[in-house]
Amino acid sequence: MIAIQYYTSMDSKTIYRERTFYGIHEVTEQYLDDAAQQRIVKIHVIHHGTTIHGIQYLEPDLELQPLGYYHFNGPCGMIMDTIKAMRPEGARIGIMGLGSGAIAAHGRAQDSITFFEIDPAVEAIARDPELFTFLDKAPADIEVRLGDGRKLIEESEEAGEAKFDLLHADAFSSDSIPTHLLTVEAINLYFDRLTDDGMVVLHISNRYLDLAPLVYELAMNTTGIPPIILEESAVPEEERMYHFPSIWMVLVKDPNTGIRIAERAIDQAQLANPDVTDPEELYKLSMGGVYIPRDEDRVRVWTDDYSNIISLIKWR
């Protein structure tokens, strides 16, 4: 969450603030000297406590270019591009956690995106056209369902709804995470609701917790296939005000789906570094690939009866 220091250094004003059972939601308006656009632009930023959950340009020609963790050239864009290439006719996507609705900007007219959001205030913010317009302007067929994400996904199965091509949990960036979304039982539910070549995506950027070893154990205790990790850490300095470093992990039923994502990471590294031909060097330059933790980083897998936050704390 390095991005917070960049934003607090800029002039900003609070245009919305509300306290709910789940915490304080605040939207700020800021002016950004955007090097990429070569102009001063206005942005809105949604905060939950000290965590940023979405940013949007207010300029009409830029409003569907997502920022923060969700920009087109980062791990989120790579994952969404992969599923869109796999489903040219349209993908069914489920997302736990709404924020500003920025991920909707990745959708096409033929895609269906369902957000699962526990806090009604967040939906109200995302739907207020004076604050954010992703849900209104994105071309995909978008639905927001209120309630606990895991419970709502379970209910979608009971209702006999079509399976998802991608299920994404975006609820782990704050200092208090919903542990029930990261258990063996939860992951098995997600896989039950996936198509055979679908993917479970976990956005695990967190200042305090290293969730990667846990996600590895969850993958190995469900499908037995090691997860893919995509990490964008070297964001160019001129982009850091609007492109955040982030870590994403992808769990799959079918190893070929993981291979597709890893190959796309290598392809992007090749495009960015056309003079590099050595495969090992390209892998180092790419956003990632298969994740296997060191022995000393291994943790006990979480279940509905057991979780241990202490084992994941970044002590250094």
Task: Tell me what percent of the residues of the chain surpass a pLDDT of 90.
Answer: 73
| Domain residue spans of the chain | 64-312
pLDDT at position 237 over 70: no
pLDDT value at residue 261:
93
pLDDT in tens, 150-172: 999 999 989 999 999 999 999 99
pLDDT at position 65 over 90: yes
**Is residue 108 very low, low, confident or very high in pLDDT (cuts 50, 70, 90)?**
very high
**Is residue 9 very low, low, confident or very high in pLDDT (cuts 50, 70, 90)?**
very low
Look over the chain and give the mean of its residue pLDDT values, rounded to a whole number.
Answer: 91
pLDDT value at residue 241:
64
64-312: CATH superfamily? Vaccinia Virus protein VP39 (3.40.50.150)
pLDDT value at residue 288:
85
| Cβ neighbours for 88, distance < 8 A, ≥ 6 positions apart | none
pLDDT in tens, 169-204: 999 988 789 999 999 999 999 999 999 999 999 999
pLDDT at position 242 over 80: no
Residues 220-245, mean pLDDT to the nearest whole number: 82
Residues 215-233, mean pLDDT to the nearest whole number: 95
pLDDT in tens, 114-136: 999 999 999 999 999 999 999 99
**Is residue 4 very low, low, confident or very high in pLDDT (cuts 50, 70, 90)?**
very low
pLDDT value at residue 3:
41
Residues 65-69, mean pLDDT to the nearest whole number: 93
pLDDT in tens, 261-288: 999 988 888 888 889 888 888 878 888 8
